[in-house]
Structure 1
């Protein structure tokens, strides 16, 4: 499984207008609607339902919101870099500015977990996060993520 197979370039955004968790969920749902043709209300509800089970803010300014959605045929991703971090109930109680969202089919057990592990490993790398924070152009952000995948495959 490769991040570049999960994440399309057009599903990467740098956003300056999001100032709350609710707004972030709607921004993710907008990407899911525009890029992956998912119903935005269903996506928001699924992401919010997942957040009630426990926070997906993993620390160090990173969150990995994820949800299962009926009718989806494969794992899809979206990435948002916020210009100003928001409170996302992260485990370290620090505000979050990097969001890597995964949306999986309702019955995707192993594939969903593999995708989550891959994204988690990638976003745990402080140098990658620093590069992502230093850029706000979506094409550059995608290139950083894609290059990370290529470097990991070469290692």
Structure 2
């Protein structure tokens, strides 16, 4: 699996600010609607429901919110880089400035887990995260995410 298969270029955005986790989820829902036609309110609700089971802030300023939604034919992703980190309840208590949200079809099984593992491995690379944090252009962020994973997999 390759990140370019689950992340469309129009699903990458730089956010000047998000005041809270809920506001970030609303921005994610809006971007998922624009990029993939997902129902934004239902997507936000599904993200909040999943988050209530335990925070998806994985540490080092990274969050991997994810949920299952109807109307998808495969796993899709949204990436947001925040100019101002927000409190997210991450396991290391660090504020989050990189969020990669995943949406899987309701009936998805192993495909969802493989995508989550790929994104997690990708964003564990501190060099890659530093490059993401140093750039403010969505197209550049997309290139870093998609090319970075190909290089690492080779």
TM bin, normalised by shorter chain, reads: over 0.9
Query: 1:29-48 CA deviation, whole Å, 9 max, x = no partner?
Result: 00111110000011000000
Unmatched runs of 5 consecutive residues or more in structure 1: none
Paired residue total: 154
Q: Distance in 1 between matches of 2:133 and 2:32?
A: 22
Corresponding residue for 2:37?
Answer: 37
Equivalent residues in 2 for 1:80-99, closer than 5 Å: 80-99=80-99
Equivalent residues in 2 for 1:6-155, closer than 5 Å: 6-154=6-154
Are the equivalent residues in 2 in contact too, given 1:4–1:149 (CA < 8 A)?
A: no
* Aligned partner of residue 117 in structure 1, secondary structure: helix
User: Which runs of 4 or more aligned residues in structure 1 lie more than 2 Å from their structure 2 counterparts after TM superposition?
Assistant: none
CA-based RMSD of the aligned residues comes to: 0.7
Give the alignment's TM-score, normalised by structure 1: 0.97
Corresponding residue for 1:5?
Answer: 5
Are the equivalent residues in 1 in contact too, given 2:2–2:150 (CA < 8 A)?
A: no
Q: Distance in 1 between matches of 2:28 and 2:48?
A: 11
Q: Distance in 1 between matches of 2:146 and 2:63?
A: 19
Unmatched runs of 5 consecutive residues or more in structure 2: none
Are the equivalent residues in 1 in contact too, given 2:2–2:146 (CA < 8 A)?
A: no
Deviation of 1:107 after TM superposition, in Å, equals 1.2
Are the equivalent residues in 2 in contact too, given 1:63–1:96 (CA < 8 A)?
A: yes
Deviation of 1:71 after TM superposition, in Å, equals 2.3
Q: Distance in 1 between matches of 2:41 and 2:70?
A: 13
Q: Distance in 2 between matches of 1:24 and 1:150?
A: 28
* Aligned partner of residue 72 in structure 1, secondary structure: coil
Give the alignment's TM-score, normalised by structure 2: 0.98
